[in-house]
Amino acid sequence: MAGQTGIDWGSQRVIVTGGAGFLGRHIVEGLHARGVGDERIFIPRRKDYDLTEKDDCARLYADAFGGDEPTLVLHLAAEVGGIGANRENPGRYFYANMAMALHLIEQARETGLIDRGGKFVQVGTICAYPKFTPVPFKEEELWNGYPEETNAPYGVAKKAAWQMLDAYRLQYGMRSSYLLPVNLYGPWDNFNLHSSHVIPALIRKCVEAMDRGDESLEVWGTGSASREFLFVEDAADGILTAAEKLDDPTPVNLGTNFEITIRDLVHLIAKLTGFASEDTIEERIRWDATKPDGQPRRCLDVQRAIERMDWRAKVGFEEGLQRTIDWFRTHREDADARL
C-alpha cells in the first residue's frame, strides 16, 4: 500500500476517529505499512470520548499524545446504516454526523493544527449526491439537486463538513482533504441485518439460510437499482494517498467505475456462497417490492482521483466478494461480537 509520498509518515502523530471500526482497521494497517508505529496512532473509543460533544473533542486533542499535539486527523467516525436504519433515525444521523465534524474541525483549529502545518482528512459519503445525478457521478454535480430522501439527512451533514473545511481553508489556511468513497465492503464489515449495507446483509442472509436449510430468501426492493462498490483495502489506500498528496478539500470520488444492479448482485452472492446455482437462482429469491430501492443508480467518475492522486482501485469485484464471504465464514464470532 505504501508508495512515494509527500509526507514524512515517520514523524506524524495521527488521530484516527473510527479507527476500531470497519474502515478504520484497514486505515491503521495502512499506516503501519507506511511506517507509522502504534505509539504515533491514537484511536478514540466511544466509551471514553463522545465525539458529538465539544468538551470531549477538546479533551481528545489534549489527551492524544500526552501533550504532543497531533499532526494529522483522519475523521472516519460516523453514525450510519442501511435504508431501514436511515428511515428510523434521520434526526440522530444528521445531528451525530454534523456535531462530530463541527467539533473536531473547530477543536483542531483551536489546538493549533494549522500552526503545526497539520492536516484534517474528512471521509464524506456519496449519499450527498443528488438523487438524480447523471451517471457516472462527477464531483461538480454535488450541488445540482437534493439527495435521495431516505439518506438525505446523513448525506447533507457530511456535505456540510466539506463546506466547513473549505471555509476554514479560506479564513484560517487549514490544510485538508475530502473524500467521497462509494459503498464499501470487505472483512470486518457490519453484518448486523438491521443496520448493515447490502453486501454484508446479503452474505449473512445467504449463509444463515444455508445453515437453516431454507428454500428461499427474501430481499428488499425490485432489484432494479444499481450500485458501485469499493473493497475496503482500496478505500483505505485512497484515503491515505489523499493525506499524502492533497492539501485542499476539493471533493474527490473513490470508486471503481464498475456498476452492478442489485438483482445481479444478489444472484452473484447467492452463487458465490453456494446458496443457489445458476439454474435455481430465480425460484429461490423472493423480492419484496413494497420496500424501497433507494437511489436509482450510483456509479462514480474517478478521473479526479487519477489526475490529482494517481490513485486507482486494485481489487476486482468478484475477488473482493469472495474474500468477504470467506472472512465472514471464518470469523462468525467476530462478526457477531460487533452486533
- Which residues does the annotation mark as catalytic? 154
The span from the CA of 95 to the CA of 46, in Å, is: 16
Bridge partner residues of 180 (DSSP): 253
Closest CA to 259 of 325, 317, 201: 317
* Angle between helix 262-273 and helix 317-330 axes, rounded to 10 deg: 50
The span from the CA of 44 to the CA of 124, in Å, is: 19
Q: Which three cell numbers stand for residue 164?
A: 466547513
Bridge partner residues of 15 (DSSP): 42, 73
Name the residue with cell 452486533.
339
The span from the CA of 267 to the CA of 275, in Å, is: 10
The span from the CA of 109 to the CA of 100, in Å, is: 14
Backbone angles phi, psi at 253, to 5 degrees: -70, 140
